[in-house]
Amino acid sequence: MLIGEFAEKSKLTRETIRFYEKEGLLEGVRKENNYRYYSKKDIEIVQFISSLKNLGFTLPEIRSILLVYSSEFKCKDMQMILEKNLRKVEEKLRSLINIKNNLSKSIKGCEENPNKKSCNVFTKFKF
């Protein structure tokens, strides 16, 4: 199928498809007429890419997973990749919770002294 039909079936834009090709995530087959052709397998690949993106993987990580997947890929290999990403997500979550707590403390300080001329937030960060 040509890029237009592939875009429609995969629910991606032509630009996204070309971007995935440029990033090495997808390979359309170029024919003599210089058009790219895509297969049903390519639809499965972009669905897999979408699933991995939803799990928080970056495009370089997805590229690595696709390379491993194309070889003799075992479930334990994917488990290790997923566990590594889970640790990254947990670290990001801890960081976000810390940011949330700091914001809440700053807001509480403002609420306690709404008319104070020198806001504690400004003095705390000293800029």
How high is the mean pLDDT of the chain? 87
Domain count within the chain: 1
Contacts of 6 (CB under 8 A, 6+ apart): 12, 17, 28, 38, 42, 43
Of 67 and 63, which is predicted with more confidence? 63
- Cβ(12)–Cβ(46) under 8 Å? yes
pLDDT digits 0-9 by tens, 73-105: 778 888 888 999 999 999 999 999 999 998 998
Range of the domain at 49: 1-55
Of 42 and 113, which is predicted with more confidence? 42
Structural domain contains residue 31: yes
pLDDT band at residue 126 under the 50/70/90 scheme: low
Structural domain contains residue 104: no
